[in-house]
Chains A and B, each alone.
Chain A
Amino acid sequence: MRSGKEPILRKIKDGTIIDHIPAGQALNLLRLMAITGREGFTLALVMNVESRKLGRKDIIKVEGLELKPEDTDKIALIAPMATINVVRNYEVVEKRKAVPPKVVEGALKCRNPNCITNKPNEPIKSKFRTISYNPPKLVCEYCGHVMTHEDIVKQLLSEA
């Protein structure tokens, strides 16, 4: 049995730790990152562990995979305010907070079928403004349609 002080996950040498993931979102996040487990990375995942900040949280540790800064925005839309730690030689060399971007361009499709951004043959990219960060909520700059966190997660995962 694990004693109270022993860390629940072992340290990794090189890779990424995503901490403070809202409880229950870790599997979604793995899917978004296209990690199936068959890539050969050593991967540790805990869900619904106690957290002082969040009450409950999930944690992912991936050995051998370094997340790029451009991955942060998408991660933030699923796991807002998660902490991304890049580890090299057992040291955290970079810490990023997954804050949803103010403007989300092109990454999502507006759910309103009557939105101009869904019209084929127009040189137009979808564009959303973030109106709430945690949980993320976006509003289409063109038609005013609101995307809830659930809508966003569903869409990002259907494309992942």
Chain B
Amino acid sequence: MLRGRDVLTALDLSREDFEEIFAAADEVIARGRSQLNLMRGKIMATAFFEPSTRTRLSFQTAMMRLGGEVIDLGEVEKSSIAKGENLSDTVRMLDAYSDVIVIRHRLEGAAKLAAEVAENPVINAGDGSRNHPTQAMIDLYAIRRFRGGIDGLTIGVMGDLKYGRATNSLIMALTKFEVEKIYLISPPQLKLRQETRELLADSGVEFEEVENLEKVISELDVLYASRIQKERFPDPSEYELVKGSYVITPENLRNAKEDLVILHPLPRVDEIDFRVDSLPCAKYFEQAKLGVPVRMALLKLILGG
């Protein structure tokens, strides 16, 4: 049961929680745009201390489509934070105004602190480099939708596995399912952190770290790509050296399974060649469209609409 709960990390969610969200998202999609006014009279506060377009807008759209209302902290530079107000006090204020707080912050654990301060539920819309649980919900829902299920699949997660909160959250979420194998595809500099590796090992999921996509592409049912950020490399020439190995092109998909599904949390820069967009395996734009229904489902379950 998700009612009244905080959503801080994918690790807090059980398989049943995920399935509850998936079922609710199915229902949302089946109803189309005509949603009941389930959230009438409810207010969601969005507090994004770090820039975001997609996540903020999709949360706001989700709440509006459910008939609820939205207040937004606005740009941090123009808000009370610029005057030196701390996070706890800001959250306390938002908590008094709203029924649920959606927060994004640069610092890890900021959402947990917010949840300790707030009486109403807090949803983590990304903090630090580990947690982005609602993105993981969308990603798993996309896998389920495009592949008919999650169990038994071989999934490649590629890109920045060290600092990427989308990739880290997806990996955490996958430990709740019975996947066949996870391939972790990244340059050595951006390999999984020890903590996450131990988590995977403890969960009993089979996984393997590889540096080359082409080596494993023929085995994959799902390929989850993510952005490799140039600024993660101390030496720009090192980045130039590795980036080519992590770009998806029609050429390196030659040996892929026919029913491969490629996902990406977006925005992409150059890690997926534009020529891939028209291939049947390219599902990332459809995946992005699931952001609103999944977040509608989550708000509905948490607020009990």
- Chain A interface (Cβ within 8 Å of chain B)? 112, 114-117, 119, 121-124, 139-146
* Cβ of B76 to closest chain A Cβ, rounded Å: 14
A-B contact pairs, 20 of them (CB 8 A): A114-B107, A114-B128, A115-B108, A116-B105, A116-B108, A116-B112, A116-B113, A116-B127, A117-B109, A119-B107, A123-B88, A124-B113, A139-B195, A140-B109, A142-B112, A142-B113, A143-B109, A144-B195, A146-B194, A146-B198
Besides A112-B108, A114-B106, A122-B87, 16 other A-B contacts (C-beta < 8 A): A114-B107, A114-B129, A115-B109, A116-B109, A116-B127, A122-B86, A123-B88, A124-B88, A124-B113, A141-B109, A142-B112, A143-B130, A144-B9, A145-B195, A146-B194, A146-B198
Interface SS, A side: loop
Chain B 2-25 near chain A by CB (<8 Å), digits 1 or 0: 000000010000000000000000
Tell yes or no: B136 within 8 A of A by CB: no
Chain A hits for B110, CB < 8 A = 116
**B242-256 interface (Cβ within 8 A of A):** none
In the assembled complex, the Cα of A114 lies from the Cα of B106 at a distance in Å of 8
* Cβ of A149 to closest chain B Cβ, rounded Å: 14
Chain A hits for B198, CB < 8 A = 146
A122 touches B108 (CB 8 A): no
Chain A hits for B88, CB < 8 A = 122-124
Interface SS, B side: mixed
Chain B interface size range:
20 to 34
In the assembled complex, the Cα of A104 lies from the Cα of B232 at a distance in Å of 32
Chain B hits for A123, CB < 8 A = 86, 88
Chain B hits for A142, CB < 8 A = 108-109, 112-113
Contact of B86 among A112, A121, A139 (CB under 8 A): A121
Contact of B112 among A112, A141, A145 (CB under 8 A): A141
